[in-house]
Chain A
Amino acid sequence: MANLKEIRIRIESTKNTQQITKAMKLVSAAKLRKAQHNITNMRPYAVTLKQVIADIAATQKVSHPLMMPKQSANNVLLVVLTSDRGLCGAFNSSINKFAERYIADNKNKYEKIDFIFIGKRGADFFARKNIKGLESITKLEKDISYNLAKSVAEKLIAHYEEGHYDEVRLIYNEFKSAISQKVVCETLLPVEIETSSFSAEGSKFAADMIFDPSPEKIIEDLLKKSFNLQVYRAMSESVASEHGARMTAMENSSNNAKEMINKLTLNYNKARQEKITTELTEIVSGAESLK
């Protein structure tokens, strides 16, 4: 039986850990709320933008190279979105595993697979495997801003337009709920727009609509903005997922700490009881022998 002092110290330190994990959980909960708020705020903008692109594409019969799927995809650019910090359960490792498996599965299918890592965890993981990305964007700001997403999106478009890649895919954690995240692999480019559901008759566009500049130019602008937004959405979802995952992880560790404290307290009491019994026996037998 460990001695009393040792157990007492362990209980103390576990309590400290529990306090930290509890605090981290609360912080994550607050950040999660903010991230969710971001996602909701973006929705009206996203819906309008999508609707307009579909409307213009359907009524004006315009198209754009960004919308055209390539006949065969040989060179793929994979964007791996992770977080900068750990302590969030399986959040990063599931992404890394998914990306690794994706490479293994598709190695023979494509000529070249290149990477862009967003977030330190993914970059570090693959750096250990001697896979270097085209670029690693780490030190994300505290909150992912639209500006950051925009700069990433513009880089991706530039790579795509220069013809280095036929497809740009993004692996990230989709936010399902505070306790569940799903790793998804999404095709970013070419842009997929469902024009089929919008017919020219169904749109609210007047026939004499004035376009300034031309519909082609407008749709190009809109497509690029919509792409920026798509990247922003994925990033926001990833941030929300990260906080959700961290919240769950911290909740679990708080519970574990509690369990541990209970167990240790029980041991402590047992040890104390034993000590008292031993002392009592000693006193009694001492008194006995004096008789």
Chain B
Amino acid sequence: MKLNLLTPERKAVYDTEITEVTVPAYSGEMTILPGHSPLITTLGTGILKYKIKGSDRTHKAMISWGYCEVVPESVNVLAEYMQTPEEVVVADSQALMAAAEKKLGTEILADHDYEVAMQDIAKARASMDLVKN
């Protein structure tokens, strides 16, 4: 089973043979093993994990909004935003979270702004989770 992980800004994982991948799917976290039936789902904000064939190490990345397609030969993930553990700056995430929380607590927000603030919080939380464990 192959994994392709693409974002608008880069080609993060391409044509890499993997043994399993876990994605933050629309209705909850989901692990995909080889032989999974064809599936299309959207992804929320969360942590994506995968194991490259022949190695026991679990690779992790934080993604925010994505699309995941499982076809017999590969898993294709499109993520709008992603961060690897090396890229996370905890201070930045904390600042993002604090700003969004302050906005939620002090201002009356339109639907769209509310969503953006919630997304920011989710993003910051996922980034922090990513470096924690």
Contact = CB atoms under 8 A, between A and B. Distances in A.
Contact of B40 (A46, A56, A158, A232): A56
A225 B38 contact: no
Contacts of A210: 37-41
B9 A212 contact: no
> Majority SS of interface residues in chain A?
helix
Interface string B20-47: 0000011100000000011111100000
Contacts of A222: 67
B41 to A, nearest CB: 4
Nearest to A233: B8
A48 B37 CA distance: 20
Per DSSP, chain B at the interface is: strand
A38 B10 CA distance: 8
Contact of B112 (A41, A154, A225, A228): A154
Nearest to A149: B8
A226 to B, nearest CB: 10
A146 B8 contact: yes
A19 B27 CA distance: 60
Interface residues on A, range: 20 to 34
Interface residues of B, number: 27
Interface in A19-51: 38, 41-42, 44-46, 48-49
A205 B26 contact: no
B84 interface: no
Nearest to A154: B112
A225 B112 CA distance: 15
6 contacts: A52-B78, A211-B39, A212-B27, A212-B39, A212-B41, A215-B40
Interface of A: 38, 41-42, 44-46, 48-49, 52, 56, 146-147, 150, 154, 158, 204-206, 208-213, 215, 217-218, 221-222, 225, 228-229, 232
Top 3 nearest A-B pairs (CB, nearest first) are: A206-B38, A210-B39, A212-B41
